[in-house]
């Protein structure tokens, strides 16, 4: 009797197991978000990722894409991924230091010579080591992507040198490294989530903001900002983040598919940043912005001498130099 019951129970369990296993052919739906518009370097990133995951897994995973902060700003999205209420997000490193403090070092102004240098570091050992630091915080960091090289805009005055930044009230990302550096320029810093920035600029709550050309165009900041200076003061990485438990649950082959899809997406993402950088100035000029293209970079760098020596103490000069000199 007991044996029969056990058999029956295991038969039923197996039957149920099969019933569950068969529709496992069906789709698992996951969500990924960005805080800016679909027509952007970030939109290209998550659209490519979604397409690649579906293709590489024979459609067993459906990645739903959300744009323009419709699931929240970047900090909220990263939080949701950490909690597992959302599986994936693609974000700038703006709010990342609040979750993974080690990543702060990548947000230091004038750290990278150019995009090529930044890409080498992120694709090389320093970047790959940094991806692993996300594990213990509840994330699987699939790959570094790119937000771009950031430039200053405002509605008050042409910025020719660092002195012109003094006293400007500017929205910054919710990033402690940026805030410290911009204070070094004499900027009055107002950290704010990205979805609120357009209105804040429009209503004059802040005078300006700083972002890559890709973001300035995607967000149509030309409608609310008159002056743009190509300060190139900081490189802004982006990152594909996935909830760690959701990633760990994937069969090995699917894990590879997700990582390879992210890498493919980064190629498209970077190519779009290059396109945007190539056409950005003329496009923004044609929309009425006054653009200062050539500034004396060393003056901006020198304005941050004190801030930089603070960063060297905080992060270790050797660690910063390792990135600066990475070939
Ligand atoms: O990720 O918050 C920012 O300024 C970011 O650069 C923007 O949301 C794109």
Give the Å distance between the CA of 73 and the centre of ligand 1: 9
pLDDT tens column, 65-76: 999 999 999 999
pTM of the model: 0.92
pLDDT value at residue 25: 63
Q: State if residue 211 touches ligand 1 by the CB under 6 angstroms criterion.
A: yes
Q: Where are the domains of the chain?
A: 2-324
Task: Report the percentage of the chain scoring pLDDT > 90.
Answer: 92
| pLDDT at position 26 | 76
At residue 12, the pLDDT reads: 44
Task: Write the DSSP assignment of 114-160 as a string of letters.
Answer: SHHHHHHHHHSHHHHHHHHTTGGGTEEEEEEEEEEEEEEEESS----
Q: Is 215 near ligand 1, meaning CB less than 6 Å away?
A: yes
The list of the chain residues with pLDDT below 50 reads 1-22
DSSP secondary structure letters along 26-57: SPEEEEEE-SS-SSSHHHHHHHHHHHHHHHHT
93 lines ligand 1 (CB under 6 A): no
Instruction: List pLDDT tens digits, range 80-132.
Output: 999 999 999 999 999 999 999 999 999 999 999 999 999 999 999 999 999 99
Instruction: Give the CATH fold of the 2-324 domain.
Output: D-Maltodextrin-Binding Protein; domain 2 (3.40.190)
280 Cα–ligand 1 center, Å: 17
């Amino acid at each position: 009797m007991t044996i029969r019951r056990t058999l029956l129970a295991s038969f039923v369990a197996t039957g149920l197991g099969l019933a569950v296993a068969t529709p496992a052919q069906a789709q698992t739906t996951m969500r990924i978000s960005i805080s800016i518009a679909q027509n952007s370097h970030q939109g290209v990133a998550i659209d490519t990722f979604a397409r690649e995951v579906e293709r590489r897994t024979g459609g067993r995973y459906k990645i739903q894409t959300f744009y323009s902060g419709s699931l929240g700003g970047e900090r909220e999205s990263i939080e949701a991924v950490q909690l597992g209420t959302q599986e994936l997000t693609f974000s700038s490193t703006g709010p990342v230091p609040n979750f993974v403090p080690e990543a702060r070092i990548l947000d230091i102004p004038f750290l990278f010579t150019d995009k090529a240098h930044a890409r080498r570091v992120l694709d090389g050992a320093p970047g790959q080591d940094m991806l692993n630091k996300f594990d213990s915080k509840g994330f699987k960091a699939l790959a570094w992507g790119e937000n771009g090289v950031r430039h200053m805009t405002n509605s008050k005055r042409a910025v020719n040198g660092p002195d012109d930044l003094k006293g400007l009230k500017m929205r910054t990302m919710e990033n402690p490294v940026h805030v410290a550096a911009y204070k070094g320029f004499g900027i009055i810093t107002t950290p704010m989530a990205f979805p609120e920035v357009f209105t804040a600029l429009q209503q004059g709550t802040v005078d300006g903001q700083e972002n890559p050309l890709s973001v300035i165009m995607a967000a149509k900041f030309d409608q609310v900002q008159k002056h743009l200076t190509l300060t190139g003061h900081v490189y802004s990485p982006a990152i594909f983040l996935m909830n760690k438990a959701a990633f760990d649950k994937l069969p090995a082959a699917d894990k590879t598919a997700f990582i390879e899809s992210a890498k493919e997406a980064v190629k498209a993402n970077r190519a779009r940043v290059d396109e945007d950088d190539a056409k950005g100035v003329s496009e923004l000029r044609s929309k009425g912005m006054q653009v200062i293209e050539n500034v004396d970079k060393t003056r901006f760098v020198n304005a941050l001498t004190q801030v930089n020596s603070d960063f060297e103490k905080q992060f270790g000069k050797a660690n910063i130099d390792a990135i600066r000199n990475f070939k």
